Structure 1
């Protein structure tokens, strides 16, 4: 019992910064799962960069934190070198609110989704064609290719009509990969191609190139005025009066956020469907019923693919692309029986929330029917949070769902997927819930 009469938050004994325990568990995503199994829905634990960290895995208790619009600076400082206008992940609420409003007006809008949907279809079908050619030569590493596809989609979405030619889009994607490779190597201290100096030099050159491309697209928008495509992200930011530095940072951060998330969501879905062929055939039957003899859906068809949507949601419950999120308490909070002081680092252990057996019976079982309207109505609203919680949740959530459903529809219409028997699939944290050594699959064309 604490002096104010509240109960002390359970957790492991203090000693050190907790890094050794996190590493031993195989990453923070695994560590949080273990803590909640051992100590319950609210856990306090030591964490590098945070004097006190509290993790909340109960969706009802999470409601007390749902309006917080602050992230802990220390945990997101690794992104600061990529940004010129202040770290977009941690800018204060008075700056964040209007900036977020602009992003949602584009990323969450049907108009922009429809404007780019045709190009998304072309990109998805292009990947399917390449896979059809490669499938005869052996298994395919699907997660790597799908992440590259999601980056190409976001490149087209963010820069849109401002790109001079497809070759420029290819160079943008390559430059972004150089930046991301350096970030992964530094943050996770994993082996990456080249020396530290070589990677650093490539990343600096790539970042300068990406910023110059955004500047060129922005200049073209200002020259064209009202004629420029207002559904492009960069155009909307310019119309809203954002500074050139803020526009550059926003485009790069949006590409980074979208690079892996959509690709890994689709790859984990294919992984689960390969283990549940009856469910995969049910999806294929729905695609046949809705699409007839068409190879890809139109934008309006996505709403009719209700079972495909349930399958995607269930896969993101079991393998959320982002396994956790973080906030900083801006005032003293009461979370159930526990008092949490202002300044505390709060964790949303998304994976643990999604596996909470109180709200998800037999939580390890893949069962898309959990997302029927009847079953969904019986759960707290924060029981399912693949895109985060509150005012710092993902602005691109609806766009990500459009992309993922489209990609799955194209691929599942074209192929059957089977896991290779001799390859273990192990989830690890690499910004997102990645698969160590990828997910290798054998593809069989459908008739």
Structure 2
């Protein structure tokens, strides 16, 4: 961790959100953190201090809600805002020190090794794998009881299978069941520890520690087995991402060792399926609630694609569908909260954030900020026409983060999402069954219940003929 700079900046004191004596906003954050951040901005503006917990164990969060503040934290002064908080440490301890969590020279070396594998040309080559997994989902919905599907669960499976196929190639079946079983146990464990003011050591034999350790052991073992087989030549991977990672070297001939390879794989699995699944599920949910926009998207898909399977080049040919996706990501950002730790005292929006502070950015709030988004709760894909986008600050919308730590997989996420949505909407019409979805902020945005839609095969075609 970098040394804390004790300099001070000129600026006024940060206003505080009111809470209860001794505990502050602890219970508000536990019961509805997203609503609490939104209320803080509405009551006190774009830089707000929130305290939570009893004296001696109190957390003090400095929340930055403006687009300009987000740009300062993530981009223009990113070196001053690090991933040094306890939440990121819990992710490191569970999922390894991959691109999401690493810092300084570790991060720069990893980025140099991984960057060539995420060029547009390389990522566009994964379109066929996404289409194949989407086709399997489309065919399966023919037998949905009562024609109702939980798009939250279905998109989670689709995104997991797609990223596992791209990572592991022919070894996809060996990993999907393990990830599906172990990830929820580990992510729940990370959340409990990450938000707790004090934790017992992971080595203590409590039931929670033992469950998490068993899940991590099983997950690590399947990854290590595939990595060892691939590196020994016992199995051929070809062009899957694991093979490319294993062969990756930098200009100074540095490569990943086996443990580092596993760390990257685990982080790609974590960041690469839950985020895309969230965007897909809420795109379908919103279209199911807005039939006019659904019909407009379907007309574009039919006109552009006809009956052929979508390919990477179709992203530019489906502008309205892309606008739908971006608007869904505005209203339901997969990473609704982003944390950093300040090194030096810094003035943001005329307020002084002290050195060593926990800093919170909240796309959930910034994406609803009335300064950038008139009638912010309304679903309107036309907010993302090129002209409308040009009229807003760069960080009014930042579902992929930004600056030097922006998500390396954002093009893949957009590619996967547009291809999957195009195939699904061409095959089915959607009507919302669940209209109000309870939400919470985990490592990613979580739907605390089903996201059910009634599906009907589109007129004149069988669902299993799409593509």
Quote the Cα distance in structure 2 between the aligned partners of 1:244 and 1:222: 9
2-structure distance, mates of 1:139, 1:55: 40
Structure 1 position 34, deviation (Å): 1.1
Equivalent residues of 1:53, 1:346 under 8 A apart? yes
1:420 aligned onto 2:428 = no
Are residues 1:37 and 2:42 paired? yes
What pairs up with 1:216-227 in 2 under 5 angstroms? 216-223=225-232
- The structure-2 alpha-carbon separation of the partners of 1:432 and 1:222, relative to structure 1 and needing over 3 Å to count, comes to closer
2:86 to 59, 74, 85: 74
Unpaired stretches in structure 1, ≥5 consecutive residues: 164-168, 190-195
SS in 1 for 2:126: helix
| CA offset digits 1:174-206 (Å, max 9, x no partner) | 2112222212443556xxxxxx98886665455
Change (3 A) 1:203 1:152: farther
- Per-residue deviation, residues 311-348 of structure 1 (Å, max 9, x unmatched): 10011101111111011122232212112222122111
Q: Are the aligned partners of 1:73 and 1:90 in contact in 2 as well (CA < 8 Å)?
A: no
**Match of 1:112?**
122
- Structure 2, unaligned stretches of length 5 or more? 1-7, 193-204, 250-254, 460-467
**Cα distance in structure 1, aligned partners of 2:452 and 2:50:** 36
CA distance in 2, matches of 1:416, 1:371: 23
TM-score normalised by the chain length of structure 2: 0.84
Q: What SS does the aligned partner of 1:66 have?
A: helix
Mapped to 2, the partners of 1:30 and 1:319 lie a distance apart of: 13
The aligned counterpart of 1:437 is 449
RMSD: 2.7
Are residue 156 (structure 1) and residue 165 (structure 2) matched?
Answer: yes
Corresponding residue number in structure 2 for 1:235: 244
For 1:27, what is the secondary structure of its paired residue?
helix
Report what 1:53 is aligned to: 61
Partner of 2:5: none
1:239-250 equivalences in 2 (<5 Å): 239-240=248-249, 241-250=255-264
Secondary structure in 1 aligned to 2:125? helix
Displacement, 1:81? Answer: 3.7
Please say which of residues 342-351 and 123-132 is displaced more in the overlay.
Answer: 342-351
Contact 1:112 1:231 in 2 (8 A): no
Does 2:145 match 1:142?
Answer: no
Of the three residues 173, 176, 197, the one matched with 2:176 is 173
SS of equivalent to 2:383: helix
Does the C-alpha gap of structure 1 residues 208 and 235 become closer, same or farther in structure 2, counting only changes over 3 Å?
farther
Task: Verify the 8 A CA contact 2:282 2:332 in the aligned structure 1.
Answer: yes
